[in-house]
Amino acid sequence: MLILSLYIACFILLLVIYKIVIKRFIATNEHIKTNTVTFGDESAIKPNRTASVLSILTLFFIWCAFTGSSLSPIHAPGPFTGDTSFSYTASNANHEIDTAQVFIRVNPVNEPLTIPSPANNDSNAFTKNDSAKVAAYRSVLIRVKKNDMGGKEKGYLITQINGQPIKPKQTVQVENGEVSLSTKGSLSFTPNKGWQMEPIWLPAPEAVFTRLIEITQDGYQNVSLFENIGWSLLRVIAGFLLGCIVGIPLGYAMGLSSWFRGWFDPIVEFMRPIPPLALIPLVIIWFGIWESGKISLLFLAALWIMTIAARAGVSGVNISKIHAAYSLGASKLQILIHVIIPNSLPEIFTGARVAMGVCWGTVVAAELVAAEKGAGKMIIAASKFQQTDIVIMGIILIGVIGYGIDILMRVAENKLVPWKGNS
Partner 1 sequence: MIQEVNKDTSTSLYINDVSMSFELPDGGSAEALKDISLNLREGELLSILGPSGCGKTTLLNIIAGFLSPTKGSVSLNNKQVTGPSAERGMVFQQGALFEWMNVRKNIGFGPNMQNMPGTQVDQRVDELLETVGLHGFGEKNVYELSGGMQQRVSLARCLANDPDVILMDEPLGALDALTREKMQGLILKLWKETGKTIILITHSVEEALLLGERLIVMAPRPGRIHKEYKLPFAQHAITSDIREVKKMADFTSTREEILSMIWEMEEEIMGRKA
Beta-strand (E) ranges in 92-193? Answer: 97-107, 130-135, 140-142, 157-161, 164-165, 171-174, 177-181, 187-191
Interface of this chain with partner 1, residues 317 to 346, rule: CB under 8 A: 318, 320-321, 323-331, 334, 338-339, 342-343, 345
Q: How far is the CB of 343 from partner 1 (least distance, A)?
A: 7
Alpha-carbon distance 290 to 299, whole Å? 14
Per-residue mark of binding to partner 1, 293-322 (x: CB under 8 A): -------------------------x-xx-
Q: Toward partner 1, which CB reaches closer, 120 or 258?
A: 258
DSSP 189-213: EEE---SSPPTTTS--HHHHHHHHH
Beta carbons within 8 Å of 45's beta carbon, 6+ residues apart: 38
What minimum distance in Å lies between the beta carbon of 323 and partner 1? 6
Contact 376, 367 (CB under 8 A): yes
Q: How far is the CB of 332 from partner 1 (least distance, A)?
A: 11
Nearer to partner 1, 97 or 417 (CB): 417
User: Which lies closer to partner 1 via its Cβ, residue 114 or residue 318?
Assistant: 318
CA-to-CA distance for 359 and 241, rounded, in angstroms? 11
Report, in Å, the least distance between residue 231 CB and partner 1.
37
152 binds partner 1 (CB under 8 A): no
CB of 412 to partner 1, least distance (A): 15
CA angle 196, 197, 202 (to 5 degrees): 145
Task: Draw the binding track, 247-266, toward partner 1 (x: CB under 8 A; -: no contact).
Answer: --------------------
Residue 257 C-beta: closest distance to partner 1, Å: 18
Q: Does 149 bind partner 1 (CB under 8 A)?
A: no
Q: Which is nearer to partner 1, 150 or 342 (CB)?
A: 342
Give me the least distance between CB of 313 and partner 1, in Å please: 13
Q: Rounded to the nearest whole angstrom, what is the least distance from the CB of residue 263 to partner 1 in the complex?
A: 26
Task: Indicate the residue among 70 and 334 with the shorter CB distance to partner 1.
Answer: 334
Using the minimum distance from each CB to partner 1, give the nearer residue, 324 or 407.
324
Q: Does 230 bind partner 1 (CB under 8 A)?
A: no
Q: Find the part of the chain contacting partner 1 (CB under 8 A) among 253-261, 297-305, 363-371, 414-422.
A: 414-422
Identify which range of 134-142, 212-220, 228-236, 411-419 contacts partner 1 by CB under 8 A.
411-419
DSSP state of 187: E
Amino acid at 43: S
- The alpha carbon dihedral of 160, 164, 170, 175 has a sign of negative
Among 83, 73, 18, which residue's Cα sits nearest to residue 51? 18
Q: Which of 331, 333, 335 is nearest to 344 (CA)?
A: 335
Instruction: Give CA torsion, residues 186, 92, 168, 108, to 10 deg.
Output: -30
Q: 90 forms bridges with which residues in the sheet? A: 98, 158
Q: Which is nearer to partner 1, 120 or 320 (CB)?
A: 320
Nearer to partner 1, 238 or 417 (CB): 417
Extended beta strands in 279-357, E state: none
The four Cα atoms 23, 24, 28, 33 give a dihedral, to 10 degrees, of -10
CB atoms near residue 399 (< 10 Å)? 11
Q: Note whether 43 binds partner 1 by CB under 8 A.
A: no
Binders of partner 1: how many residues, by CB under 8 A?
23
Residues that bind partner 1 (CB under 8 A): 318, 320-321, 323-331, 334, 338-339, 342-343, 345, 417-419, 422-423
